[in-house]
Chain A
């Protein structure tokens, strides 16, 4: 099996994630979408590492996974704080940046 199916899988995964990020109104859902996009990147990294026979891609993937964990932890903490203050996590209501 060549490289292409992996890349297609990753692209589809990325698009699903992006769709989730753009359409979900719940902050938790948006975080999940981001997770999907990041994992699409991981799939790409692993596939290309394998294709190019270069273990550096695998090392990067490990880094990405661990950093993603931290990111989700921070993101969830922020969401909880926002919920405490605003009593909502609906993205539509969080529009303080409106010009």
Chain B
């Protein structure tokens, strides 16, 4: 029997080993598919370790397993520790991360077969680094270590969004994602440092113990937790920092599935879940989290209605679902939020990979250039439908149970207005997702070329994820009961009814064309225009950048050029003029020098005489 700590270290170490090998051994990296095989094998090993850990974990004895080594030596003991902390949340998250990473890497072998070998090697090196970083983030035993892995996954996200770096939009999107998430991370690190200054430790276990014993100093804790939450806002694409996620779709589709749907963007939710005992000390921050989450969910859903790019629809739906999770956490339904994180990780990865299969077959992202694809690619159609039903929250798919638990939790938490926003979002979610399904797979239209189902290496992951999405849901439907205490009994029928209404409305609009989409858009014209312009948020940020930051730079530049440089130039000019003047006493005539000597001598004599 291998103990939990070793398993966790193995899950962490394997992708890291693969990354180091691929980074250092250039011929291996340039070999392309061999590099991919190595990376897949490593993350497969991680998955195996994670599964064993997950299955054996509760029997392993204690509730949590923690390994720690001291780090950052300082006077009076180490400043921080590094280690792994495994508890039930981390174990489940570890399985999700390893599973989705494994499936996505496998899928990438098929999806990116047209890439050159060196590019493929680079891609898999990044992927291995990402798997290592994400697993490290999940297993981190303290805030400092978590922050380091947090930044590493941000770096991987940047590298993979910009994988096609020759494409200007991809490069811009990568930089934008990096900057926007960094804005949140600034708050995160400030929060960590302030927390350390207050409590004297980074470790989760110590902090939770202090929170339990009520020895945690509460002064300024609200600010600290708010700052830490800012990191989650950036990473989990919450309003107002959600603007990077839709642009991040410039990366390859498997990357979007792995990083920008299933795992990395969920890191913010995971962070709040992880630090939940601390957030419980600051109820005001929790209420803010709930409101921002619900608002993000609604805002992103409205934006998802008008997108023509299939991946952007999915991206906004990701923002929206992350909003659900945050709202649940804010309302105190931490189990429901985490449950939704898991189910969402499965079905959103499935949807992205399905969309990738469609894009791979058709060669465009634009849903209006697709149509009637169900006949040409039935397998893809079925798995995409499974994912969509799960996302829309239809019984008995996984999304139904987690969404229900969230709605119940938010209602029980007393956040009535956020509850209404989320209920409205249920309808919108079903509508925009089935809009995509009908337009792409069923409605009339003509797709270029001869679309066909993807090869086995891509189809396998799709079916696995579809099976899991349906299976988890059916398990709950048969076994009964979510993780949370159920809310009022009218919530399930309500959410199911709203979702079905959304589907029916989408069917009427995009399949039967009984309702004209143009007429709908005209009816709500201001909203439609606003959604098309992304509620002017990007323009606002652009304006702030151009007006405020460039203005400030201009002022700073002026000060540097004319004040600071001016002082230096003045000093040098005076020195030069002084030298020019002084040079005239250097006549070249020996007698003048002698005058000087004699006069000086006279002065010395007179001076010595007077003293």
Cβ-defined contact, A91 with B588, below 8 A: no
CB atoms of B590 and A98 under 8 A apart: no
Contact residue among A22, A30, A98 (Cβ-Cβ distance under 8 Å from B587) = A98
B587-605 CB contacts (< 8 Å) to partner A: 587-591, 594-595, 598
A93 and chain B: residue at smallest CB distance: B589
Cβ A30 vs Cβ B591 within 8 A: yes
Inter-chain CA distance A92–B589, complex, in Å, is 6
Which residues of chain B are near A92, meaning CB under 8 Å?
Answer: 589
Q: Contact residue range for chain A?
A: 10 to 19
- B598-A96 in contact (CB<8A): no
Quick check: A94 and B589 within 8 Å, CB to CB?
Answer: yes
Q: In the assembled complex, how far is the CB of residue B593 from the closest CB belonging to chain A, in whole angstroms?
A: 8
Give the A-B contact count at a CB cut-off of 8 A.
31
Interface size class of B (residues with CB under 8 A): 10 to 19
Contact with A along B562-593 (1 / 0, CB 8 A): 00000000000000000000011011111100
Residues of A within 8 A of B589 (CB): 91-92, 94-95, 97-98
In the complex, chain B residues whose CB is within 8 Å of the CB of A97: 586, 588-590
Indicate with 1 or 0, residue by residue over B539-565, a CB within 8 angstroms of chain A CB atoms: 000000000000000000000000000
Instruction: Kindly identify which residue among B583, B584, B590, B598 contacts A91, using a CB–CB cutoff of 8 Å.
Output: B590
A12 to B409, CA, bound (A): 115
CA distance A92 to B595 in the complex (A): 14
Closest to B583 in A: A99
Task: Tell whether A18 is near chain B: CB-to-CB under 8 Å.
Answer: yes
Contact A98 B586 (CB under 8 A): yes
Q: Does A21 contact B (CB under 8 A)?
A: yes
Q: Is the CB of B591 within 8 A of A21?
A: yes
Known: A18-B598, A22-B598. A95 touches B588 (CB 8 A): yes
Q: Are B588 and A22 in contact (CB under 8 A)?
A: no
Chain A positions within 8 Å of B587 at CB level:
95, 98-99
- In the bound assembly, the distance between CA atoms of A65 and B584 in angstroms comes to 38
Closest to A99 in B: B586
Asked if residues A98 and B588 are in contact (CB atoms below 8 Å), the reply is yes
Are A91 and B586 neighbours in the complex by a CB distance under 8 Å? no
Which residues from A are CB-within-8-Å of B594?
A: 21-22
Main secondary structure of the interface of B (DSSP, over half): helix
Interface centre among B584, B591, B598 (most CB of A within 10 A): B591
Looking across the interface, which residue of chain B has its beta carbon closest to that of A92?
A: B589
B591–A22 touching, CB < 8 Å: yes
A98 to B591, CA, bound (A): 12
Residues of B within 8 A of A95 (CB): 587-589
Q: How far is the CA of A94 from the CA of B588 in the complex (A)?
A: 8
- Report the Cα distance A65→B586, complex, angstroms: 33
Complex Cα distance, B590 from A98, in Å, reads 10
Complex interface bits, A55-99 against B, C-beta within 8 A gives 1, otherwise 0: 000000000000000000000000000000000000110111111
Q: Are B595 and A22 closer than 8 Å at their CB atoms?
A: yes
> With a CB–CB cut-off of 8 A, which chain A residues contact B588?
95-99
Query: How distant is B540 from chain A, measured CB to nearest CB, in Å?
Result: 65
Contacts of A91 in B (CB 8 A): 589-591
Interface residues of A in 27-77 (CB under 8 A from B): 30
Hey, which chain A residues are within 8 Å of B583, CB to CB? Answer: 99
For A96, the chain B residues whose CB sits under 8 A away are: 588
- Least CB distance, A10 to chain B, in whole angstroms: 15
B584 (CB) vs chain A CBs: closest residue:
A99
Q: How far is the CB of B165 from chain A (nearest CB, A)?
A: 60
Q: Give min CB distance, B576 to chain A, whole Å.
A: 14
Q: Which of B101-137 contact A (CB under 8 A)?
A: none
Cβ distance A83 to chain B, nearest Cβ, rounded Å: 16
Chain B residues with CB below 8 A from A99, complex form: 583-584, 586-588
A94 to B598, CA, bound (A): 20
A38 to chain B, nearest CB (A): 15
Measured CA separation A21–B583 after assembly (Å): 24
Give Cα A94 to B591, complex, Å.
10
Taken together as a complex, chains A and B put the C-alpha atoms of A21 and B590 apart, in Å, by 10
Interface residues of B in 34-75 (CB under 8 A from A): none
CA distance A30 to B584 in the complex (A): 24
Who on chain B is nearest to A18 by CB?
A: B598
The answer for the CA separation of A92 and B587 in the assembled complex, in Å, is 10
Contact in complex: A94, B590 (CB < 8 Å): yes
Complex-state Cα separation, A98 to B586, whole angstroms = 6
Which residue from chain A places its CB closest to the CB of B590 in the assembled complex? Answer: A91
* Chain A contacts for B586, CB-based, 8 A: 97-99
Q: What are 9 of the A-B contact pairs (CB < 8 Å)?
A: A30-B591, A91-B590, A94-B589, A95-B588, A95-B589, A97-B590, A98-B588, A99-B584, A99-B587
Can you add 18 more A-B contacts, CB < 8 Å, to A95-B589, A99-B584? Answer: A18-B598, A21-B594, A22-B591, A22-B594, A22-B595, A22-B598, A30-B591, A91-B590, A91-B591, A94-B589, A96-B588, A97-B586, A97-B589, A97-B590, A98-B586, A98-B587, A99-B583, A99-B588
For the complex of A and B, list the 8 residue pairs with the smallest distance between their C-beta atoms, beginning with the closest.
Answer: A98-B588, A99-B586, A95-B588, A97-B588, A99-B583, A95-B589, A22-B591, A91-B591
